[in-house]
Structure 1
Amino acid sequence: MTHSLETDLASGALAGTIADIAEEAARLILPYWRAGTVVETKSDASPVTEADRAAEALILKRLAERWPEVEAVAEEASAADGLPAVVGEWFWLIDPLDGTKGFVQGRESFTVNIALMRGDAPVAGVVTAPATGVTWASTAPGKGAVRRVFGEAWRPIRVRARPAEGIALLSHSLTDEEATRLAARHGCTQWQGTDSSLKFCLIAEGRFDAYPRTGPTSEWDTAAGQAVLEAAGGRVLGADGQRLTYRKPGFLNGPFTAMGG
């Protein structure tokens, strides 16, 4: 049965469905975690595991069952088969296992990311953290963002007003000196390193204040987190000070800053 994408988006049914899909993928991933999973290296030197591939196959299957008319741009398929030359107005951006390096090293902050895109912007997104059993989602447009522990009810989340001494979230790839300097540049006196799109969600739920990123990322790394953060009242700005947009050449992002209130 074909479901109306726009109707499902407006009602909030879409967010609920993709959250269920992301959590199903999370349950598939968990047996691979801390289990000596074999790691391969892709052409861009980034790691990939069987967990990435299995989760992506599941997500693509479930999305096609529900909304067969919507094409998908997914990380592992793109690495194997190449990026699409053109995408339609509506499409999915999928990272089945964001933070693979941390996943391989046994850290907890890896995520499943699913975003619905319209034109150059995310209009719905879900981020799931398999290791901690938590999911964050945008709801129906204009209705805010929510968070749930697996099996429990959704609870609304909102960014906090910027405190006098803000706390930044930063990539683990930075040195302490680089991180301290970057945090200060964005008005934060403290910082914490973490992996994956989890950074967007921790700002969205009011625990942190900014996530400045100077190094390159792919659009599937950020789209779902941006959808959640914007629904919670935050912003994600590119180097030009404007909202971070999508469908860029190679589906690659330049520098950006995600921020709360």
Structure 2
Amino acid sequence: MTAPDANQPAADLESDLASGRLAEIIGDIAEEAARLILPYWRAEAVVETKADASPVTEADRAAEALILARLAEHWPDVEAVAEEAVAADGAPASVGEWFWLIDPLDGTRGFVQGRETYSVNIALIRGDAPVAGAVTAPALGLSWRSAAPGQGALRRAFGEPWRPIRVRERPADAVALVSHSISEEEAQRLAARNGCGRWQGMDSSLKFCLIAEGRFDAYPRTGPTCEWDTAAGQAVLEAAGGRVLAEDGRPLAYGKPSFLNGPFSAIGA
């Protein structure tokens, strides 16, 4: 009898990544999670407070359970680091070469307040870099994802075909996206530091995706974020020709202690 090949799971994953099948599947999974979330939106969901003072709802937990189950059906041997599991059980001390980063409902505060710009985030990390990602905005009926490596990024409205997107050339009147949680003075300072004369506040990882599709030019961030907040959006933006740079000028990396990010700038062209 032939011994099982210990490298086969990784080989299958790599093949699915290279063909674009993996990115297509995670895009579908993100949209399935979006359909699960929508009935909770603007429905007076019960809100709990986690140890870090951030909110969580039944929608967060239900979407995470669905995403984890679907990923395990396709790639059962790939470790997953998911926001609500980490909140309940703590972060893993280390991860392997391949792992998922999952935020089942990014922008929960805005979701609770009835705003539209919350999202579902699924990313695959290899080493310290996001190599595939999907982001879905349930309330907007829109999704973004990477394609096969080197083949760009895509966007679709629910039920429509995927269409290619790309960052725009930096215009003379560049516009930055910033977090809703910062002051007007801080927003203006960050926008100017990134060469943008104007700025707009927005929730969640949609900031990465709107830069990826060429509607905005930069997203500077100094406040703390977790890796599951940024990985999927970074994968989409980098596939579309953009960059996400840490303070040292290198690409924002993953698998850091406690999965916490420092300051970064997401940039289009």
Instruction: Give the residue type in structure 1 aligned to 2:144.
Output: W
- 1:165 equivalent in alignment to 2:173: yes
| Equivalent position SS for 1:196 | coil
Spell out, residue by residue over 1:59-94, the C-alpha distance to the aligned partner (whole angstroms, 9 max, x if none).
000000110010100000010011111111001000
- 1:252 equivalent in alignment to 2:260: yes
After the TM superposition, which of the residue ranges 210-219 and 79-88 deviates more from structure 2? 79-88
Instruction: Give the residue type in structure 2 aligned to 1:25.
Output: A
Aligned to 2:112: 104
- 1:209 equivalent in alignment to 2:217: yes
For 1:18 and 1:225, the matched residues in 2 are separated by: 13
Aligned to 1:49: 57
Instruction: Give the residue type in structure 1 aligned to 2:203.
Output: D
Structure showing greater Rg: 2
Q: Residues 134-149 of structure 1: matches in 2 within 5 Å?
A: 134-149=142-157
Spell out, residue by residue over 1:209-240, the C-alpha distance to the aligned partner (whole angstroms, 9 max, x if none).
00000000000000000000000000000011
Alignment counterpart, residue 119 of structure 1, candidates 127, 139, 148? 127
Spell out, residue by residue over 1:33-56, the C-alpha distance to the aligned partner (whole angstroms, 9 max, x if none).
000001000000000000000000
- 1:68 equivalent in alignment to 2:76: yes
Q: Residues 218-233 of structure 1: matches in 2 within 5 Å?
A: 218-233=226-241
Q: Is the 1:165–1:188 contact (alpha carbons within 8 Å) kept by the matching residues of 2?
A: yes
Q: Is the 1:2–1:68 contact (alpha carbons within 8 Å) kept by the matching residues of 2?
A: no
| Equivalent position SS for 2:197 | strand
For 2:167 and 2:10, the matched residues in 1 are separated by: 36
Alignment counterpart, residue 26 of structure 1, candidates 34, 38, 41? 34
For 1:3 and 1:143, the matched residues in 2 are separated by: 20
Which structure 1 residue ranges, 5 or more long, are not aligned?
Answer: none
For 1:216 and 1:174, the matched residues in 2 are separated by: 12
Q: Is the 1:2–1:66 contact (alpha carbons within 8 Å) kept by the matching residues of 2?
A: no
| Equivalent position SS for 1:96 | strand
| Equivalent position SS for 1:93 | strand
Instruction: Give the residue type in structure 2 aligned to 1:48.
Output: V
Deviation of residue 174 (structure 1)?
Answer: 1.0
- Residue 57 and residue 3 in structure 1: after superposition, are their counterparts in 2 closer, same or farther (change >3 A)? farther
* TM-score of the aligned structures, taking structure 1 as reference length: 0.98
- Residue 205 and residue 249 in structure 1: after superposition, are their counterparts in 2 closer, same or farther (change >3 A)? same
Deviation of residue 3 (structure 1)?
Answer: 8.7
Aligned residues: 261
Aligned to 2:138: 130
Aligned to 2:160: 152
Instruction: Give the residue type in structure 2 aligned to 1:12.
Output: G
- 1:9 equivalent in alignment to 2:25: no
Instruction: Give the residue type in structure 2 aligned to 1:161.
Output: E
| Equivalent position SS for 2:150 | coil
* TM-score of the aligned structures, taking structure 2 as reference length: 0.96
Percent identity between matched residues is 78
Which structure 2 residue ranges, 5 or more long, are not aligned?
Answer: 1-8
Instruction: State the 4+ residue runs in structure 1 displaced beyond 2 angstroms.
Output: none
